Amino acid sequence: MKYTAGGIGVMAYLTFMLGGKVPAALVVTLLAASAASSAIAEVTIDALAAKKSRDRPDLAADIQSLCYMSFSLGRLAGYSMSGLAVSTFGAQGSLGLLAVPPMLLIALGFLLQEERLPKYRRQDSQVRKNIVEASYKMWSTIKRPVIWMPVLYMFLSWAVCPDISEGLFYFYTDAFSGLSLSVGFIGLVYAVGSLGAFVGVLTYRNFLRQISFRWLLFWVQIIISVFGMLDFTLVTQLNLKLGISNSAFAVADETFSRATDRLKYTPLFVLCAKLCPLGIEGTFFALLVSIENIGLRFSSWGGSALLAFFNVTRDQFQHLWLVVLIRNALRLLPVVMIFLLPRTTPEMTIV
């Protein structure tokens, strides 16, 4: 099982590279397979992190910080190489290079030592029993107010904040009505943004982890809304009046945005780990992350609807400034729901 994630990813990306002109249906299947590969690996890592956080509550913030610092460094490396890879190998060849990380997962599988379950626990009847018991324990846990209230906040804090990154990307790259930034430079922007995310995690780890979840996320949400005005400045070209070029301001915007986003992500995931009951830490953590991802899907759909309503397309940006203002205003909505979060700090026990 520990080689499954890597194997699926390798097959998917190598098919992209070697398959020539790939039919649309196969493209969708391969993308689903690659997403499944990432999900399997991520859930496994999350389960291990949640269990370790539960075993050592005093190190919960450190464990999650380490995970997301590694994640940010990986994104930094990937974005740094993306522009060069596309220009050298083309789009399809670059997809083939994405088979390298799944290969590393397979190699990691050989290094991980795990105890095999006894044969009787792998029988169908025992597996079904374990699933029923885990499901009952999850339901018994999540219906407790100390659990469902933070979970509801996690979902709503993402769902009510529309994601308009698609419209901003088109604005960055459009040669006529936008900023006319190259795809290679956009890769550099995202790479520097990943460095900002790394700094955000370090900031939380070293200076903010003693603050309660409620108080920290209250101020972080306000800061996210305020820094959203950097997008407004870029869209309206006010940065040029300040003597700052579009390229430099785009880099600064992405850096600050990713840093503040990580200041929100990291404590929320620490909170997820703290909410997990004994015995099903990995399963329950995966459930919480899935709920949070559903919130992110609603954010994406809301952003797409907002862009469509104001007729922001690949080459039409007349009302993008208004979309940015609406998004920034909606980012303040989670502040009024902050009462759903516990007053505890990462070192304190919740359940």
Whether the predicted pLDDT of 244 surpasses 70: yes
- Specify if 225 maps to a domain: yes
Span 162-195, pLDDT tens digits = 999 999 999 999 988 899 998 778 888 988 999 9
Q: What is the pLDDT of residues 11-37, one digit of tens each?
A: 888 887 776 677 878 878 887 888 888
Nearest of 276, 139, 304, 154 to residue 131 by alpha carbon: 139
Q: What's the domain count of the chain?
A: 1
CATH of the domain at 135: 1.20.1250.20
pLDDT band with cut points at 50, 70 and 90 for residue 2: low
Q: What is the pLDDT of residues 257-283, one digit of tens each?
A: 999 999 999 999 899 888 888 778 778
pLDDT of residue 57: 76
Phi and psi, residue 244, nearest 5°: -110, 125
Q: How far apart are CA 67 and CA 227, in angstroms?
A: 25
Encoded tokens for 16: 């992209």
Encode pLDDT of 280-299 as tens digits: 877 888 888 889 889 999 99
Angle (CA) 156-297-346 rounded to 5° is 50
pLDDT tens figures, 43-86: 778 777 887 887 787 787 888 888 888 888 888 888 878 777 77
Query: pLDDT of 215-231, one tens digit each?
Result: 999 999 999 999 999 99
Domain membership flag for residue 12 = yes
- Which parts of 204-245 fold into alpha helices (H)? 213-227, 229-235, 238-241
Task: Flag whether 37 is in a domain.
Answer: yes
The domain containing residue 220 runs over which residues? 4-114+123-340
Interatomic CA distance for residues 69 and 197, integer angstroms: 8
| Neighbouring C-alpha atoms within 13 Å toward the C-beta of 292 | 17
Give pLDDT, residue 66: 86
- The DSSP code sequence of 172-188 is HH-SSSS----HHHHHH
In a domain, 322, yes or no: yes
104 has a pLDDT exceeding 90: no
Give the chain's length. 351
Residue 349 is assigned to a structural domain of this protein? no
In a domain, 347, yes or no: no
- Say how many C-beta atoms besides its own lie within 10 A of residue 350's C-beta: 16
Reported as a single tens digit per residue, the pLDDT across 134-168 is 888 888 989 999 999 999 999 999 999 999 999 99
pLDDT (0 to 100) of residue 240: 96
Answer whether residue 350 is part of any domain.
no
Helices (H), the chain: 4-18, 24-55, 60-97, 100-111, 124-142, 145-159, 165-173, 183-203, 213-227, 229-235, 238-241, 246-275, 281-309, 320-330, 333-336
pLDDT band at 120 (very low <50, low <70, confident <90, very high): low
Distance separating alpha carbons of residues 191 and 194, to the nearest angstrom: 5
- Does residue 312 lie in a domain region? yes
Cβ-contact 295, 156 below 8 angstroms? yes
Residue 1 banded pLDDT, cuts 50, 70, 90: low
Mean pLDDT of the chain: 87
Tens-place pLDDT, residues 322-337: 999 999 999 999 999 9
| CA distances for 53 relative to 61, 217, 334, angstroms | 8, 20, 26
